[in-house]
Amino acid sequence: TRARRDLRRIEFFQGTLDSTSEITDARIFDTTLRDGEQSPRTSFNYEDKREIAAVLDEMGTHVIEAGFPVNSDAEFEAVRDIAEASHVTTCGLARVVEKDIEAALDSGVDMVHTFVSTSDVQLQDSMHATRQEALASAVESVERIKEAGAECMFSPMDATRTSEDFLIEVIEETSEAGADWINIPDTCGVATPRRFYDLIEIVDSHTDAFIDVHTHDDFGFASANAISGFEAGASQSQVSVNGIGERAGNAAYEEVVMALESLYDVNTGIDTTRITELSRLVEEKSDIPVPANKPIVGRNAFSHESGIHAAGVIENSDTFEPGVMTPEMVGAERELVLGKHTGAHSVRERLVDAGYAPTDAEVREVTRRVKEFGAEKQQVTMSELERFAQEVGVDEESE
Contact residues for ligand KIV (CB under 6 A)?
35, 115, 155, 157, 185, 187, 214, 216
Of residues 167 and 366, the one with the C-beta less far from ligand KIV: 167
CB 297 to ligand KIV: min, Å: 22
CB 261 to ligand KIV: min, Å: 25
Of residues 35 and 321, the one with the C-beta less far from ligand KIV: 35
CB 135 to ligand KIV: min, Å: 17
Backbone angles phi, psi at 234, to 5 degrees: -70, 150
Of residues 157 and 275, the one with the C-beta less far from ligand KIV: 157
Is the Cβ–Cβ distance between 139 and 177 less than 8 Å? yes
Cα→Cα distances 192→221, 241, 257, Å: 7, 22, 20
**What's 195's DSSP letter?**
H
Pick from 270, 198, 257, 191: which is nearest to 231 by CA?
198
Contact of residue 36 among Zn ion, ligand KIV, none (CB under 5-8 Å per partner type): none
Contact of residue 345 among Zn ion, ligand KIV, none (CB under 5-8 Å per partner type): none
Of residues 39 and 279, the one with the C-beta less far from ligand KIV: 39
Of residues 68 and 197, the one with the C-beta less far from Zn ion: 68
Of residues 193 and 358, the one with the C-beta less far from ligand KIV: 193
Strand partners, 65: 91
CB 54 to ligand KIV: min, Å: 23
CB 306 to ligand KIV: min, Å: 39
Distance CA 351, CA 163 (A): 64
User: Interface residues with Zn ion (CB under 5 A)?
Assistant: 35
Contacts of 22 (CB under 8 A, 6+ apart): 231, 264
CB 158 to ligand KIV: min, Å: 6
Distance CA 129, CA 351 (A): 69
Burial class (CB in 10 A: 0-12, 13-18, 19+), 17: middle
At position 391, the amino acid (one-letter code) is E
Of residues 128 and 377, the one with the C-beta less far from ligand KIV: 128
Distance CA 153, CA 181 (A): 4
CB 187 to Zn ion: min, Å: 6
Contacts of 129 (CB under 8 A, 6+ apart): 117, 123
Distance CA 339, CA 372 (A): 8
Q: How far is CA 303 from the centre of its chain?
A: 20
Find the residue with minimal CB distance to ligand KIV: 185
Is the Cβ–Cβ distance between 346 and 382 less than 8 Å? no
**What's 330's DSSP letter?**
G
Of residues 62 and 334, the one with the C-beta less far from ligand KIV: 62
Contact of residue 157 among Zn ion, ligand KIV, none (CB under 5-8 Å per partner type): ligand KIV
CB 82 to ligand KIV: min, Å: 18
Burial class (CB in 10 A: 0-12, 13-18, 19+), 333: exposed
Contact of residue 115 among Zn ion, ligand KIV, none (CB under 5-8 Å per partner type): ligand KIV
